[in-house]
Amino acid sequence: MADPLNISVSALLSYQRALSTASHNIANVNTAGYSRQRVDLGTQLPNYSGAGYLGNGVQVDGIRRVYNEFLSTQVRDLTATQREAEVLQQSASRIDNLLADPNAGLMPLAGQFFASLQDLANDPSSTAARQVVLDKSESLASRFRAFATYFDGLAAGVNSGLATAVEQVNALARQIGDLNQNIQTLSGAAGAPNDLLDQRDELIRQLSEYVAVSVVDQDNGDRNVFIGAGQPLVVGARVQQLTMLRDPYDPVRQRVGFVSGAVPVDITGQLTGGEIGGLLAFRDQVLDPAYNRLGQVAQGIAATMNAQHRLGMDLNGNIGGDLFTVAAPQALPRSSNTGDAVVGAAISDVSALTASDYRLDRRGTDYVLTRLSDGVAVDLDAAGFPGGAVTVDGLRISLASGSIDDGDSFLLQPTRGASASLRVAIADTNAIAAASPIRTSSAQANSGSGTISAGTVDGPPPVGPDLTATVTITFNDPPTSFNVAGAGTGDPANVPYVSGQTISYNGWTVQLSGRPGIGDTFAVGANIGGAGDNRNALALGALQTAGTLDRGQSTYADAYGNLVAAVAVRTERAQATSQAQGVLLNQATAARDNVSGVNLDEEAANLLRYQQAYQAAARVIEVANGLFDSILNAVRR
Amino acid sequence: MRISTGQQQAQTVQAMLDQQSRLARTQQQIASGQRILVPSDDPTGAKQLLDLGAVVARVEQYQRNAGVAEARLGAEENALRSTTNLLQRVRELAVQANNDTLSGPDRKAIAIEVRERLTELLGVANSPDANGEYLFGGYRATTRPFSVAADGTVTYAGDQGQRQVQIGADRRIVTGDSGDAVFQAVRNGNGTFVVDQGANAGTAVADAGTVLDPSAWVPDQYSIEFVTNSAGALAYQIIGAAGGQVVPALPAVAPAAAPAYTSGAAINFQGVQLTITGTPAAGDTFSLGPSRNQDIFATLKAFATALETSATEPVARAVQHNSINRALVDLDQALQHITVVEAGIGGRLNAIDSQRNSNDDERLRTQALLSEVGDLDYAQAITQLNQQQVALSAAQQAYVRVQGLSLFDYLG
């Protein structure tokens, strides 16, 4: 049967297919995930003749895609890491841009606030200076609140970003499952449907833009997709879904759950890579620490300014009240707690406060408090909890009511809510306590050279009831000792005198120095009418440069600066990672495309090649036809 | 190596995008003059910028505070200068009034001027500063510090508080003195002791006395009494209220052994010296005790009262003489006291001045650092901008060239 006609027909058919494939390649030059296809040509089975085997033409052995599993896996993995870094960097830079902005940042306003206190100290009886202090403190507090609103917005953005990503993951997983089904149905002896394989690979690659996946192939051609710590998202045609879960402690916070059985399992902690990984990393590593750190500064300003303000005296002659109000630390019970306990948390020492959150767990008879920033655990029951209050890191933890059951858990957020709740507590300019409630005097009739200092009021507030009681210090004969008289002092007599010594009664401290004479008297009493006194304003202003936070290591500005630096470092690192991963991804994509991608010039050459072969085969038919004609002509004669 | 058409396209486009974003960044840097656009550009530098910016703002505030302190001290200095001029004028009047050739009405005329000056001094002591606060009220800056009672005594309603102003990170300066310290805490007499006359019948006049040996001075209330000694001469004895008899020195018996009195001869005891002139009557006394605080208003008032007393006969003249002498030494003390307070203000103004200089230095230094950390190196940035422009246009040209190449162009 090895006649030229049949042979050329086999060639025509084969090259038609080859030309179609080349056209298909050209048509899909811009199709994402498309792998170029190649036609494998082979000879047909030869016929035996007496002279040996006679060739029987060409046939298409198969159409296969040019594909490298390793390169595709690399692209997929790098897509997940690059996307994670990119999302983290984009989200973090939204805080980064804000924090140090000369107009939107906190530092300029804090500077203005303290400047207004100094101006008040320069002119303590001025209503205008007092109004400026109120205005500047309001600006500062409202900037804290604006930051909190912004951070809340970012947190909501994370929630909605996660929700969108979860939806996308679910949709992609369904499509992958469908494709697994189709591919299984359509695959046969002729091989698998190349285009569907490409589609499935592309969908898995798209999936890795949202979350890192691992892929396991099955013998029947299925590709199974796993996420997190091996949760099977797609197994063959069976698809499982992700869902959004509420945080067990904080209901406004969303987490990612894996639906398997009746109750979704929280797999948030196991998810990495892609948009989900990026958003989670942003929330855990940038947003939460920044929010807490900002809250720590807010708590610090409120606590220390209030403490000083309450040692002062306002223009009406009253002891100062709070300058700022701020929310107390929160203790959030886990939603699954079986006990009815309400845990109380209060700040006892703001300088010892950290920016971390804490978790309180009851395990059997143990009550364990874990600092979440570094995982350091403290045994609370050893310190008397829950029978009594325990103070850890400046945080006083007590059982306010109810009882804690075994296995119950609480999330303690000492600083989170502070910036959102920072408000100025006073509206009356006269209520600013610029003066000190006490003043000292030496008697006109004193004969010696002894002096008494202006005196300071000792913290912490509240001040004692006898603070402003008149206390008289009278020197004895000889003037090497003195008697103290006045309410609250216990009237001690013959207190030995050393020049430069300080004495403290009723919550104040004064210094006596010089050489008092016999019978010389000094008095400490209420600072009545002290409108021109600026001592407390000076003390408030001095807090700007005092080490008030981080166990005396940081000023407010330092703490805020550390926040800026921490966010900046994280952003910078995310940016570097994103760039590096981008380069790697580009290289991996190039490597994959160099194998699988369509090159139009190559296809053009192929077109020419196949066209020539096709034309030649047609020519062979013509020759065969000529041969046949020759026979016919010979017979006709 | 084969390359896919799509990849080739994507790569050249990506190259252009990269160049564009680099160019945009450099442009932004040049437009703002800042090297660090967001903290993540240079986290350490960004934190430094925050810190240094805060330092500059703080130093500027200190400079403003220093200005306020200078203004307040300047106002006080003015008031004190007026006080000095006023006291000097009153002292001249006292010297004039001590002249025996003056008649009673002349002295009364002087008294009228002294009363005027007293009122003027009250005005100075009650003067407000630029913000309307009383300069000399202590903390009670809104309460009028000095007021005159019906009997002419001046009372102080302020306190002894002294306001401070922050003029450096660790530097506070006192910006005022209380009225108490300026006008009331003035030692009378010669500053160590004061001589008062008793209800004398003679014409003895005592001077203010001097301290010869401060270490020998024993503060006590001494009474100098004129007696007749065993020789029948007019003599004096000195007895301390606490220390007992001083002159004649024990165990000599007074008044028998009392030293004879000579007009104008110095009387020495316990390291001090006193000169009494004139003719005392037996039983006349002078008391000599440690100096006490006496306010300047009381000094002026006592002087005026002394002048207003009519003194025609010698005993009354002697009393007036003694009173005017007292007024003179008290005025000298007041003048000296005001000078000391003024010197203190001068010292504070000097301290402010030097703090201002060091603040200026710190500001300059900090601003230099700020500029070093945060400012853009324009030469470098513009070079970079040019390079990036060249790179971008090269990328664009390469894209166009490469995209124009296709085998299909030759198929026909």
pLDDT tens for B118-149 read: 999 999 999 988 888 899 999 998 889 999 98
Give dist(CA A161, CA A277) in Å, integer: 11
Task: Answer yes or no: is pLDDT of B276 > 70.
Answer: yes
Q: Does A99 touch chain B (CB under 8 A)?
A: yes
In chain A, which residues have their Cβ closer than 8 Å to the Cβ of B290? 447
pTM confidence score = 0.87
**Of the candidates A536, A537, A569, A542, which has an alpha carbon nearest to the alpha carbon of residue A555?**
A542
Q: Does A27 touch chain B (CB under 8 A)?
A: no
Give dist(CA B48, CA B54) in Å, integer: 10
**Digit-coded pLDDT (tens) for A11-48:** 999 999 999 999 999 999 889 889 999 999 999 988 88
Task: Answer yes or no: is pLDDT of B404 > 90.
Answer: no
- Interface test with chain A among B3, B4, B64, by most A beta carbons within 10 Å: B4
**Digit-coded pLDDT (tens) for B354-381:** 999 999 999 999 999 999 998 999 999 9
Q: In chain B, what percentage of residues exceed pLDDT 90?
A: 55
The total of other beta-carbon atoms located within 10 Å of residue B247's CB is: 22
* pLDDT, mean of residues B225-251: 89
Token output for A324: 């700022």
In chain A, which residues have their Cβ closer than 8 Å to the Cβ of B169? 545
In chain A, which residues have their Cβ closer than 8 Å to the Cβ of B11? 586, 590
In chain A, which residues have their Cβ closer than 8 Å to the Cβ of B408? 600, 604
Q: Does A533 touch chain B (CB under 8 A)?
A: yes
**Is residue A600 within 8 Å of residue B406, measured between CB atoms?**
yes
**Digit-coded pLDDT (tens) for A69-126:** 999 999 999 999 999 999 999 999 999 888 867 677 888 899 999 999 999 999 998 8
Token output for B36: 């660090």
Give dist(CA A616, CA A58) in Å, integer: 13
In chain A, which residues have their Cβ closer than 8 Å to the Cβ of B2? 594, 599, 602
Beta-carbon separation of B143 and A93 below 8 A = no
Closest residue in B to A598 (Cα–Cα): B4
- The per-residue b/e assignment along B348-368, b for 16 or more CB within 10 angstroms, e otherwise, is bbebbeebbeebeebbeebee
**Digit-coded pLDDT (tens) for A325-362:** 999 999 999 999 998 999 999 999 999 999 999 999 99
Could you list the beta-strand ranges (E) of A365-498: 366-371, 377-379, 390-392, 395-401, 409-413, 423-424, 438-442, 451-452, 456-457, 471-475, 481-485, 495-496
Give dist(CA B302, CA B113) in Å, integer: 14
Specify which of B99-103, B295-299, B307-311 reaches the highest per-range mean pLDDT: B295-299
CB neighbour class for A322 (10 Å; exposed up to 12, middle 13-18, buried from 19): middle
**Digit-coded pLDDT (tens) for B35-92:** 988 888 898 998 888 889 889 999 999 999 999 999 999 999 999 999 999 999 999 9
> Across the interface, which of A111, A435, A447 has its CB nearest the CB of B57?
A111
- Which of 136-195 (B) contact A at CB < 8 A? 137-143, 159-166, 169, 172, 180, 184-185
Give dist(CA A606, CA B407) in Å, integer: 11
In chain B, which residues have their Cβ closer than 8 Å to the Cβ of A107? 50, 53-54
Task: Answer yes or no: is pLDDT of A1 > 50.
Answer: no
Average pLDDT, chain B: 90
Q: Does A607 touch chain B (CB under 8 A)?
A: yes
Task: Answer yes or no: is pLDDT of A490 > 70.
Answer: yes
Q: How confident is the model at residue B101 (pLDDT cuts 50, 70, 90)?
A: confident
Give dist(CA A8, CA A613) in Å, integer: 10
- The per-residue b/e assignment along A440-466, b for 16 or more CB within 10 angstroms, e otherwise, is bbbeeebbbebbbebbbbeeebebeeb
Token output for A177: 């499952």
Beta-carbon separation of A445 and B219 below 8 A = no
- The per-residue b/e assignment along A238-275, b for 16 or more CB within 10 angstroms, e otherwise, is ebbbbeebebbbbeebbbbbbeeeeebeebbeebbbbb
Complex ipTM value: 0.84
Beta-carbon separation of B51 and A561 below 8 A = yes
Strand partners, B266: B275
**Digit-coded pLDDT (tens) for B332-355:** 999 999 999 999 999 999 999 999
Task: Answer yes or no: is pLDDT of A486 > 50.
Answer: yes
Q: How far apart are the CA of B176 and the nearest CA of chain A, in angstroms?
A: 11
**Digit-coded pLDDT (tens) for A125-180:** 889 999 999 999 999 999 999 999 999 999 999 999 999 999 999 999 999 999 99
- Interface test with chain B among A125, A535, A573, A596, by most B beta carbons within 10 Å: A125
Q: Does B18 touch chain A (CB under 8 A)?
A: no
In chain B, which residues have their Cβ closer than 8 Å to the Cβ of A36? 4
Give dist(CA A215, CA A232) in Å, integer: 10
> Across the interface, which of A108, A571, A605 has its CB nearest the CB of B40?
A571
**Of the candidates B20, B22, B15, B1, which has an alpha carbon nearest to the alpha carbon of residue B403?**
B15
Q: How far apart are the CA of B44 and the nearest CA of chain A, in angstroms?
A: 7
Q: How many residues does chain A have?
A: 637
**Of the candidates A420, A423, A422, A424, which has an alpha carbon nearest to the alpha carbon of residue A150?**
A420
Whole-number pLDDT of residue B330: 93
Whole-number pLDDT of residue A637: 64
Q: Does A128 touch chain B (CB under 8 A)?
A: no
Q: Write phi, then psi, for B100 (nearest 5 degrees).
A: -70, -20
Q: How far apart are the CA of B43 and the nearest CA of chain A, in angstroms?
A: 5
- Interface test with chain B among A120, A122, A436, A586, by most B beta carbons within 10 Å: A122
Q: Does A569 touch chain B (CB under 8 A)?
A: yes
**Is residue B202 within 8 Å of residue B318, measured between CB atoms?**
yes
Cα-Cα-Cα-Cα torsion A292, A293, A299, A303, nearest 10 degrees, comes to 150
Task: Answer yes or no: is pLDDT of A440 > 90.
Answer: yes
Q: How many residues does chain B have?
A: 412
Give dist(CA A143, CA A140) in Å, integer: 5
**Digit-coded pLDDT (tens) for A198-208:** 999 999 999 99
Q: Does B408 touch chain A (CB under 8 A)?
A: yes
Closest residue in B to A36 (Cα–Cα): B4
Whole-number pLDDT of residue A2: 58
> Across the interface, which of B10, B47, B54 has its CB nearest the CB of A111?
B54
Whole-number pLDDT of residue A370: 94
Q: Which residue has the higher pLDDT, A188 or B360?
A: B360
Least confident interval from A257-271, A420-434, B10-24, B398-412: B398-412
